[in-house]
Structure 1
Amino acid sequence: MNMEADKLEELLPSELGTKEYWDSAYIVEIENFKNNGDVGEVWFGEESATRIIRWLTKFDQVSRDDPVIDVGCGNGMMLFELMEEGFTNLTGVDYSEKAIELANRIALERESTNIKFMLCDIVGEEVDLRDYKVVLDKGTYDAISLSPENAHAQRKAYKANLTKLLRPEGLFVIASCNWTEEELRQHFDSDFAVSAVIPAPKFQFGGKVGSSVTTLVFQHKNNETGS
């Protein structure tokens, strides 16, 4: 057990950590998409997704036909962008039925056949998804951490299911705006090591320098390859 990770303070609960919030948000976005073709909000902004995609396309140990899964995919926009870059084996999962409905509507309009969207709660007990080379998380771990319903236990369940998703040599790419690089390292240190840090623009406030989004690439400790 990683005692340091257990000592980390939990985030204050927020409606962003509830399924009801996301279902309501995607109901609105589905209507907007039906009415004017608006695909909805890109969580953390398009720049964050672009940085991840740019890194993946340049990393020579990931091929375009490797299986990639986006946990908490929302409207699926990061997967659609990966498809544009030539990736052919893409899966998106989300615990919101409305998110999956929106993603499937967008896929149908774009005639996207290389992406499969499925309903799945990544902190649920019955996660039966395996053998992915890359697991992507852009904001999902943050939302789990904001849950009013025992966020600590949900974070532990997330980590346990993460090990089921990944191949032994797989990559876990996480973007967070609520946890620092050091905190993320501590959260996942028992099983994973940082393989790369995807840099983001820096800002300075109160004499301290930081990034609005921290993006790390993890690998299982016994399969580290470096960046």
Structure 2
Amino acid sequence: MSFLSTPPTYITLLSLSLLLLFRVFHLDSSHMAGMRLLPEDPDVAQVRPTASADLISDDDRSVAADSWSIKSEYGSTLDDEQRHADATEALNYRADYSSDKDEQEGEGVSSMLGFQSYWDAAYADELTNFREHGHTGEVWFGGDVMENVVSWTKGLCMDICKSNLPNHVADADSEPVGQREIDISGWSVLDIGTGNGLLLQELAKQGFSDLTGTDYSEGAVDLARSLADRDGFTNVKFLVDDILETKLDKRFQLVMDKGTLDAIGLHPDGPIKRIIYWDSVSRLVAPGGLLVITSCNSTKDELVEEVDTLNQRRVACQRPGTVEASVDPPPFRYLDHVRTYPTFTFGGSVGSRVATVAFLRN
């Protein structure tokens, strides 16, 4: 059938399909495209339908007190109701802040990947495959991206140690960096949404030794521990913890996020959950520390804009005329991003499938 003879209904459907395809690529002319990748493992792509009961009970599971297996060294939690109330107020602020823009963002896109029930089922399958066949499971975004992120992040940390950037690691009375070997082994590292924990294994290979991985899925933590024990990385700690309701009471010099913010954004309540995410992360990164986010659903510029909004909200919440208002800096500032990912062209714009951005904690 030729295009000219195609019925109008078909043309309409085709137009809608092209529109949706363009939105999925979400290209930014200055840099990267936000595009959700499918896992490398073709078996994982067969997403099982999620029953209504699973979706309804997901929130109950995610906040149940008996779902945490946190070691006592990390302390207790903040008030969950107050956290959600603060996020709701922040969401209202963000809506007011963006109301004067010429263009408003479209409706958010939700997915089963935004629900804990999906990840519980996925990691239950991967844990079974590991026990029966020794499979490590999927590497989200692929092994090349993971190795790129780790080597690039190590370079940033070494730059900080060389005092090319503000340094919270070195003591003012310590020996000058030029007269000693750069040592990053003492950096405390947290991997949020660690999954199978392979990112932490790669960081261990690069010389980091104080490593902690958290995930809200108990199956993911069981799998990560099993893989670390098998591969000889017995010093890596893995804990069950939800970044949105974290029980961690410790600050880390390096916090990694590879896909977790993406999954949070795919929840039907993604906008408010993303605000809670940023408030939680800002309490987990030590002053002068690094937050490194790898995303396939947000471009570099979108992540920077989101952090700018967080900073402006924090400043707006400070009481004018107080001492805190004059000395308390915004939580984060943009530091750098990976520029070596392969790019492609779509609709006349150049983009990349993945964005990795580093923010410095003030």
What is the TM-score when the length of structure 2 is the normalising length?
0.58
- 1:43 and 2:140 are equivalent in the alignment: yes
- 1:89 and 2:210 are equivalent in the alignment: yes
Q: Is the 8 A contact 1:68 1:133 kept in 2?
A: yes
3-state DSSP of counterpart to 1:127 = coil
Q: Which residue of 1 aligns with 2:343?
A: 202
Aligned pairs (5 A) from 1:26-105: 26-59=123-156, 60=158, 61=160, 63-105=184-226
Query: 1:71/1:10 Cα in 2 relative to 1: closer, same or farther (>3 Å)?
Result: farther
Q: Is the 8 A contact 2:151 2:206 kept in 1?
A: no
Q: How many residues align?
A: 219
Counterparts of 2:252 and 2:125 in 1: how far apart (Å)? 32
Query: 1:143/1:57 Cα in 2 relative to 1: closer, same or farther (>3 Å)?
Result: same
- 1:193 and 2:333 are equivalent in the alignment: yes
Q: Note the C-alpha offset of 1:84.
A: 1.4
Q: Is the 8 A contact 1:64 1:86 kept in 2?
A: yes
Q: Pick the aligned partner of 1:138 from 258, 262, 265.
A: 258
Q: Pick the aligned partner of 1:182 from 298, 301, 307.
A: 301
- 1:114 and 2:235 are equivalent in the alignment: yes
Counterparts of 2:277 and 2:98 in 1: how far apart (Å)? 17
In structure 1, list runs of 5 or more residues that go unmatched. none
Q: Which residue of 1 aligns with 2:291?
A: 172
Q: Which residue of 1 aligns with 2:108?
A: 11
Supply the RMSD in Å over aligned alpha carbons. 1.8
Opposite residue 273 of structure 2, the aligned amino acid is: Q
Q: Is the 8 A contact 1:172 1:217 kept in 2?
A: yes
3-state DSSP of counterpart to 1:210 = strand
Higher deviation after alignment, 7-16 or 60-69: 7-16
Higher deviation after alignment, 209-218 or 5-14: 5-14
| 1:155-209 Cα deviation digits (max 9, x unpaired) | 1110011011011101000011111112111111113221011121111112110
What percentage of residue pairs aligned between the two structures are identical?
A: 39
| 1:96-123 Cα deviation digits (max 9, x unpaired) | 0100010011112123122100000001
3-state DSSP of counterpart to 1:55 = helix
What is the TM-score when the length of structure 1 is the normalising length?
0.91
Opposite residue 198 of structure 1, the aligned amino acid is: V
Opposite residue 214 of structure 2, the aligned amino acid is: V
Q: Which residue of 2 aligns with 1:147?
A: 267
In structure 2, list runs of 5 or more residues that go unmatched. 1-92, 162-183, 312-330
Which structure is higher in helix share? Answer: 2
3-state DSSP of counterpart to 2:360 = strand
Runs of 4+ residues deviating >4 angstroms: 4-10
Query: For the pair shown, which has the larger CA radius of gyration, 1 or 2?
Result: 2
Q: Is the 8 A contact 1:4 1:186 kept in 2?
A: no
Q: Which residue of 2 aligns with 1:213?
A: 354
